[in-house]
Structures are given as structure tokens and as C-alpha cells.
Chains A and B, each alone.
Chain A
């Protein structure tokens, strides 16, 4: 009798445990598959070996002038970024990146008829405008303040030394190896 009661108690406890586990376990993250792909053995590097050092891009950024400060923010392999500040407020981010690491970033320009300063350009989401130099270097301006409009972004894109960037000797990309996102990157049109 005591054994039966014990078994019943055990059954109730086990089902309770399942219930509690089911309630507390989080739903799978939307980033779980990219997490697995980029942590498994032999996962491709996030940045291509052939990517231009970020320091190579510094000289092509616009300079501080007329109350605008262009302040260095990040400089990594294949990437450089500056803040565009005025009166202590960040209005926008200015960046140059080497799409050798992420060919899908260059591919999105093929779907766009927009041109800025003669280069293929693309409006991405509601805060970014980009152009592509030499089919490889992406120059992007991202609004950080609602007053900094798409027209401002286009104007600041033109302030880069784009022809200088176009003359930057390109490190040959032997074989583009993309870090394989879980699905092909789809260009997101302007909203």
C-alpha cells in the first residue's frame, strides 16, 4: 500500500516536473541556426582573409568642418566607422566596409536603379543609404537622429573621397567564401 502511494506520488511529481520544465524553457531563439553554423568546427571566418585593413579607408572619410565633427569610432579588418557629431549629438554614422567578407552586401546593389555620385546606390531600411565603389567597397551613412534625412545621407556620401577609394589597389580575392548565413541575405527595401 505504501509502495503504491509512493509510486503515485512519484508519478505526480514527475508530471509536475515536466510541466515546470515546459513552462520555464525559453522558446528557441531566431538566431539559433546562425549560432550553430558559426560555432561548429571549421566554421568560416566572419572576415575574409583578403579584406582590406580598416586603416586603409581612413583617408577617404570626410573631414570635420562647419560645426560638424567627424570622430573615429571603429577600425577593424575590412571595416572603418566614424561618428558624425554636431553640438555634442551624434547625427549619423559614416562607414566603409569591404564586401569581400560578405558578398551579399554587394549583391543588393544589383536590384537598385539608384545612383549617387555616379555609383550604384541603395536605400536600406529607413535609416541607411549606401553606395558601392569598384564593385567591392561599400560606403554607408546611417542616420542616428530623426532630423538627419535621406537627403542628408546622400549629401554626406558625396563628401567621401570616392574617386580616391576607387583607386585603392584591390587585394585579390582568390575565392570568396561567405560566412554562410542561415538563408541568403535578402536586400530589405526602404520603408
Chain B
């Protein structure tokens, strides 16, 4: 059984590495994300209602919807939590061992940057996790594929921030400007058994459509190919460069530019942006449904 949804939202941090890393992307999508934490605050922010009795009614319906497992919200939460912890699983032990004993650079020496192939799989598996979580939370809205794509294209707020972080922290920073093409190329060369060895994939494979590893690889490649254009357009339209993102991150993380290859690994283990913004998305959608249903 998951923790109550109101506790998960109440316990979201207002500071720390994850929030600071996300704040570096404020200039990329200005005004889109304010870090709303707290269950009642979320209800107020979404609905603009102030009547406490009404807020209670909305909250109770949201809690009821979340607790009904058949409604998919708990599976979405599991995806957001697992995709973060699986991608950083190896490094977390290293971090726990080193913290407090060493300088930051000393700690970095003990991190091994992921090979490009592993990074490409991580990026694409995280993208697929987003698609699957979207469907668990929202269903497949509308009557056509076009309706569904319109719903995806209308991403805003914390969902858009999650995608911006995916493109920047899991794409641009570790793989460089042609990250999308590079990742797709790597995916096309991948065998199902290589995919099965990837930590991030192992974490969430039970919820990825496709049946077996070969089918799942097909689903991942197809989803990536379909959203590659969106990611490339996002980078081009915001004039994002690897150097810009690195400059922003190095402002608060003590790291020299020549250790860039390690920065991706560091972000992977210490920045839990999927879980953080995922819980925010989940809470918002629950509140939107609850206030409409009561």
C-alpha cells in the first residue's frame, strides 16, 4: 500500500538538489513551473477555491480516487518513483559511502559515467515511462490518435518541466546536441537481451506494452521515433545548448567543465525530478477530476 496521497504531496521538498536543478530550467520554460507543494495548496492552486468545506470535499474525492487501484493512479506513482530510483540505483550506494567523507570532486572520481548506450536506453525508457504514466492518469483522451497527440502537445506546468528536464539532463547534457538522433541510432542497434540488462528498463518493464523484450524494444523504439521531432524542436526553439545547461548547473554544483562526463551520472543519482514533478502531476490531475465530479 502506498503512502496516502496527501502525505506524499505534503512531504515534497521546497529546496534541495532536485528543486535547484529544476529551477535552472526556469529560463527555458519561463513561468511554467512554480514548485507547488502541499495537498491543500495544490487544491487551492488548481481550483482557485478558498472555501474550506469545498476544499475538504475535493480532497476527499481525490483521496478516494487515488486509493482505488483500478483507477491507475497508484501505477503511475510507481512508474515515476521506480524510473528515478532504477536509473540511479548503482550510484546511490557510491553516494551514500562517500558523502561526508570527501570533497565533491573526490566523490565524482568514484562515479563512472554511463556508456553512451546505457544513457540512450535510459533516455528512451524514461520517455516511455512518461507515455505509460500519462495513460494511467488520464486514460487515452479523445476519439482519435490526433486527439491523443493534441493532449500530449498541450503539456504545461510541472509536466512540461519534467519533459524539459528529460531533454536537458538525460539527453543534451550526457549525449550532446544530436542526442535524439544518437539515441535512436543506438536503440536501432540494440538487441532485446541487451535491453533486458539495463537497470532502468528492468525497473519498469512490467508496465511497458509489447509482451516480451523484443516487443517492448519495438514499442520503445517506435515511441522514441514518434517523439524525437518534438524533442529536437524543443531544443531548437529554445536555442538550448549543452554549454548553456552546463553553465546553469555548474552555478550551484561544484564541478569543473572538464568533468562534464561525470555530471550526467551525478544528476542521475541525486536529482529525482521524475518522482518530484510526477507526484505534482498526479495530484493536479486527481484534483481536476475530483472538483469536476463532486
Contacts and interface: CB of A to CB of B under 8 A. Distances in A.
Contact of B142 (A45, A75, A90, A127): A75
Contacts of A35: 4, 6, 63, 67
Contacts of B53: 186, 188
Nearest to A29: B6
B151 A188 contact: no
Nearest to A185: B57
B148 A31 contact: no
A58 B51 contact: no
B103 interface: no
Interface stretch (A7-15, A17-25, A78-86, A161-169): A78-86
Contact of A85 (B51, B61, B68, B154): B154
A97 B48 contact: no
- Greatest chain A CB density within 10 A among B60, B143, B151 is at B60
Interface residues of B, number: 46
Contact of A54 (B64, B67, B139, B285): B139
Interface in A100-124: 101-102, 104-105, 124
A45 B72 CA distance: 13
B138 A47 contact: no
- Greatest chain A CB density within 10 A among B60, B64, B142, B147 is at B64
Contacts, number: 140
Nearest to A71: B154
Contact of A185 (B49, B288, B294): B294
Contacts of A97: 292-293
Contacts of B288: 73-74, 81, 93
B240 interface: no
B96 interface: no
Nearest to A90: B156
Given A71-B154, A72-B141, A76-B71, A81 B54 contact: no
B188 interface: no
A58 B65 CA distance: 21
Contacts of B54: 124-125, 188
A112 B71 CA distance: 32
The 8 closest A-B pairs by CB, nearest first: A72-B141, A72-B142, A46-B68, A95-B292, A75-B139, A75-B141, A38-B67, A188-B54
11 contacts: A29-B10, A31-B4, A31-B39, A34-B63, A39-B67, A58-B143, A76-B71, A81-B289, A90-B156, A128-B291, A188-B57
